[in-house]
């Protein structure tokens, strides 16, 4: 069978965990079939996780917030697996001075947390013009939290395309798409702080 659509499929997750599918079909073949390039089994165990995902951000441990990412093959305090194929990314408040983030706007580090990114790069081209990315998530929305599942440039940020993002302020969640410095956004009310379950599927 010839494919021209690809799926990126993650497993169900808690905290910030995901179930994602990426698939593609070559442009010359229009069969309604998807090639799954990341399946739901990548959170079945650490060998499966580490063969498909890298720990932390593509550029390292810091980004534009007050959390620093900690995770490795020998450090599962903030990135770990639970039974049933669930990935957990856990944030912890720290009470010591760890300096500032190495990324603009260089905020003081207040949290330790976890992140993973796919080893696979999504490349939209004539051979694979269609990709589907899906996820099932259970994410906190309390003040101080900032869970997200997003696509970014393979070697840079921005651009950014958010599948799910909650910047916790006890009242609102947001999803945003950022491209070349523009940031159209939509915000939605959520009834109260706590945990939200969401399903994302951009096309």
Which residue bears the tokens 């799926």? 7
Distances in whole angstroms, Cα of residue 202 to Cα of each of 69, 175, 191 = 26, 11, 24
Distances in Å between the alpha carbon of 146 and those of 15, 140, 149, 151, 175?
11, 8, 10, 16, 11
User: What's the confidence (pLDDT) of residue 18?
Assistant: 35
Helix (H/G/I), strand (E/B), else coil: 43: helix
**Confidence band for 145, pLDDT divided at 50, 70 and 90:** confident
Q: How far apart are CA 61 and CA 112, in angstroms?
A: 10
The single residue of 35, 50, 130, 160 carrying the catalytic annotation is 160
Mean pLDDT of 61-80: 94
Range with the lowest mean pLDDT among 26-30, 68-72, 102-106?
Answer: 26-30
Give the confidence band of 202 by pLDDT, cuts at 50, 70, 90.
Answer: very low
pTM reported for the whole predicted model: 0.72
160 catalytic? Reply is yes
Q: Looking at the predicted structure, is the pLDDT value of residue 94 above 50?
A: yes
108 touches 34 (CB < 8 A) = no
What is the C-alpha separation between 104 and 125, in angstroms, rounded? 32
What pLDDT score does 98 carry? 95
Output the CA torsion sign for 54, 59, 60, 63. negative
> Parallel, antiparallel, or unpaired for β 4-9 and 35-38?
parallel
Give the rounded percent of residues in the chain with a pLDDT score beyond 90: 34
Q: Tell me what pLDDT residue 148 has.
A: 86
Percent of the chain with pLDDT over 70: 67
For the chain, the residue count is 203
Q: Is 165 a catalytic residue?
A: yes
Mean pLDDT, range 56-73, rounded to an integer: 93
């Amino acid at each position: 069978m010839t494919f021209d659509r690809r799926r990126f499929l993650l497993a169900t997750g808690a905290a910030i965990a995901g179930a994602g599918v990426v698939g593609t079909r070559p442009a010359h073949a229009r069969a309604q079939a998807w090639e799954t390039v990341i399946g739901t089994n990548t959170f079945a165990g650490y060998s499966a996780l580490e063969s498909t995902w890298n720990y932390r951000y593509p550029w390292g441990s810091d980004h534009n917030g007050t959390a620093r990412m900690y995770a490795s093959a020998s450090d599962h305090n903030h990135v770990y697996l639970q039974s049933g194929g669930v990935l957990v990314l856990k944030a912890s408040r720290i009470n010591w001075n760890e300096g500032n983030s190495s990324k603009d706007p260089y905020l003081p580090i207040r949290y330790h947390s976890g992140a993973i990114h796919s080893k696979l790069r999504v490349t939209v081209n004539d051979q694979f013009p269609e990709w589907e990315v899906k996820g099932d998530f259970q994410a906190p929305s309390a003040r101080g939290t900032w869970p997200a599942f997003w696509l970014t440039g393979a070697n840079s940020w921005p651009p950014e395309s958010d599948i799910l993002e909650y910047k916790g302020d006890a009242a609102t969640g947001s999803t945003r798409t950022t491209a070349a410095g523009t940031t159209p956004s939509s915000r939605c009310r959520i009834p109260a702080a706590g945990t939200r379950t969401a399903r994302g599927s951009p096309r």
